[in-house]
Structure 1
Amino acid sequence: MRVLFLGGAGMIGSAAAARAVDSGFDVTIVTRSEPARQVRDGVRQLRADVRDPAALRAVVGDEEFDSVVNWVGFTPDDVRAHPELFTGRTGQYVFISTCSVFGRPVPNLPITESSPRRQPVFGYARDKIACELLLEDAHRSGDFPLTIVRPFHTYDRTVIPVLAGWTAIERMRAGRPVVVHGDGTSLWSLTHARDFARAFVALLGLDHAVGESVNVVSGDILTWDQIHLTLAAAAGVRTPVLRHRASESIAVHIPGWGEVLEHDFRHSMLFDTSKLRSLVPAFVPEVSFSQGAREVVAHYDAHPELRSVDEKLDRAFDALLKA
């Protein structure tokens, strides 16, 4: 298997590259600059702006690949040239989208790949939908071998999967209240990057995945209170203090959270993983969130430079609690 990653030096891309190398794949990644994360030995690195069709064509030359994976397509202009560039040169073009494309609130739970895509406001998801539609049209009208992969909320030891980040951990350790949106009972799903990589790499080169969209999620169901309580337990806090505030009230004090709460985090998100399991029957998530949370806290405790408190956010929490 010869695989070309366009981008792929971020959290889930680097996990997928490592898994692909361990699976015996010949992996090439194209990035504009030196990746911030360490690249696994055995991965060939090329330098080019993957959003520049001429630069990408020059650096890739006449090479052909079994799969091409685009990790950095965020607007239609980022992918517009790719059907022409890669048709006939790869057996599969994988576009990394997001489960945020599904309309909120979702009309029917659990979410499947055929759930309605709609996002008129949240720019990131709206642009991903536009990318999907452009590439789907190329697949329907030609020989463009498209697979759409949609991760959801993915994390690894470097990512604290709550908006407050390490500030929440420090407040819990200090016995101070942490604000949780709503009543803390909306349902959410988290996937560890290693689990994502295991499922994702199994889709590469899979003929049955061409022409399909696949939600690559763990299927775990957690409330936002459970997420905070699990992080607290990993941090050694037995009785954390959680306080609930409406998303609208939080947005008044923390404007930067307004859009993501309104159009994403406040809604319950449950997934039917039937299609993923039909395409990759051997896939079973291996990393529980309790294990993942312990990895996160251990990593931050081992790196004091990461344990920074956002003082502005800290003050905003206090203001919310007094309001």
Structure 2
Amino acid sequence: MQKILVIGGSRYFGKHLVTLLRDAGDEVTVLNRGSAAPPPGVGHLVADRDDEGRLRAVLGGRTFDTVVDQVCYTPRQAAVARRVFAGRTARYVMTSTMEVYDPAPPTPEARAYAEGKRQAEAVLREPGQGGGPFAFAAVRTAHVLGGGREEFTGRLAHYVGRIAAGTPVDVHEAPYATSFIHHHEIARFLQWTAGQSFTGAVDAASHGALDALDLCALVAGRVGRPAVLRTVEPGATASPFSFDRDYALDNGRAEDLGYRFRRVADWLPGAIDEEAGASL
């Protein structure tokens, strides 16, 4: 049994992670701003992670075997966490993103998100004097899908809704393939990572990258309507998951460490059906 703190963990795959850890027999505590209570059997601490003084006060003398940070988006948040959890945890796992590899994010918001995650990783990874304050691992997750109404980004809903309605889907002429993972699988992978000892970055993705045209074809087959495609100019913004640049993930390190991912083909049709049902 481990003592594990999950920072965030109040929605989408974070909720699944908390439940998996609890059901495996770990002593789990969730820290968030009080927006949602954790499930039964899980401890709850309320604090704004950006408020270093309040965070220290709420934690008191608590220590943990592992911290899983679901909501670290900036180097400032990472620096606060590095100071506060030094001496409180042996291992720190940050949920990062495949966007750290994106060579050309298309919007200012996307650039800020990717750069924030890159810098946050760097702050937590920095060894400092006498080594780092804890063992650090960054899970760079693929695009997470599934969950119907739980999937708050609306990216799969974009495809399902447009194709079902006969509305054009904007795509690049030759989009690059990208990586995906089911929301339950990324929760399982984070649970597994919390119990491991490796450090550094690891990519988390199901086997089988798809491009936007593949996704359109698969959605069209599930909803029973042909996809109407509209090609955008190079460099223009298109539908989610249509990329004019390559940065698909390589899950080889995770597999070498002992984790076995599913194939996209095994779960994406069901996720599309779930999304179609949620939109009715």
Q: Same fold (TM over 0.5)?
A: yes
Q: Report the equivalent of 1:173.
A: 164
Stretch deviating more after TM superposition (76-85 or 92-101)? 76-85
Structure 1 position 231, deviation (Å): 2.5
Q: Report the equivalent of 1:223.
A: 211
Note closer, same or farther for the CA distance 1:250–1:65 as it changes in structure 2 (3 Å cut): closer
Q: Report the equivalent of 2:245.
A: 267
The CA deviation string for residues 47-74 of structure 1, in whole angstroms up to 9 with x for no partner, is 1111211111111111111101122211
When the two structures are superposed, what TM-score results if normalisation uses the length of structure 1?
0.74
| Structure 1 residues 99-248: aligned runs within 5 Å | 99-104=98-103, 122-138=111-127, 141-144=130-133, 145-157=135-147, 158=149, 159=151, 163=155, 166=157, 168-174=159-165, 176-183=166-173, 185-207=175-197, 209=198, 211-234=199-222, 236-246=223-233, 248=235
CA contact (8 A) 1:187 1:223 kept: yes
Is the aligned partner of 1:298 residue 2:277? yes
The CA deviation string for residues 130-179 of structure 1, in whole angstroms up to 9 with x for no partner, is 1111112146752422111111211222338775x6454344233x2422
CA contact (8 A) 1:155 1:193 kept: yes
5+ residue gaps, structure 1, are 106-118, 252-256, 302-323
When the two structures are superposed, what TM-score results if normalisation uses the length of structure 2?
0.85
CA contact (8 A) 1:75 1:130 kept: yes
Q: Report the equivalent of 1:85.
A: 84
Structure 1 position 272, deviation (Å): 1.9
Q: Distance in 2 between matches of 1:18 and 1:155?
A: 19
CA contact (8 A) 1:98 1:150 kept: yes
Q: Distance in 2 between matches of 1:23 and 1:223?
A: 36
Q: Matched residue pairs, number?
A: 272
3-state DSSP of counterpart to 1:266? coil
CA contact (8 A) 1:200 1:216 kept: no
3-state DSSP of counterpart to 1:148? strand
Q: Distance in 2 between matches of 1:43 and 1:68?
A: 14
Note closer, same or farther for the CA distance 1:160–1:57 as it changes in structure 2 (3 Å cut): closer
Note closer, same or farther for the CA distance 1:51–1:23 as it changes in structure 2 (3 Å cut): same
Larger radius of gyration: 1
Structure 1 position 249, deviation (Å): 4.8
Note closer, same or farther for the CA distance 1:149–1:282 as it changes in structure 2 (3 Å cut): closer
5+ residue gaps, structure 2, are none
AA aligned to 2:260 is F
3-state DSSP of counterpart to 1:271? coil
Structure 1 position 206, deviation (Å): 1.3
Q: Report the equivalent of 1:18.
A: 19
Q: Report the equivalent of 2:96.
A: 97
3-state DSSP of counterpart to 1:215? strand
Note closer, same or farther for the CA distance 1:102–1:139 as it changes in structure 2 (3 Å cut): farther
The CA deviation string for residues 196-229 of structure 1, in whole angstroms up to 9 with x for no partner, is 111221111312x1x3211112132111012122
Note closer, same or farther for the CA distance 1:40–1:225 as it changes in structure 2 (3 Å cut): farther
What is the identity percentage for the equivalent residue pairs of Structure 1 and Structure 2?
24
Q: Report the equivalent of 1:254.
A: none
Q: Distance in 2 between matches of 1:143 and 1:171?
A: 48
Q: Report the equivalent of 1:9.
A: 10
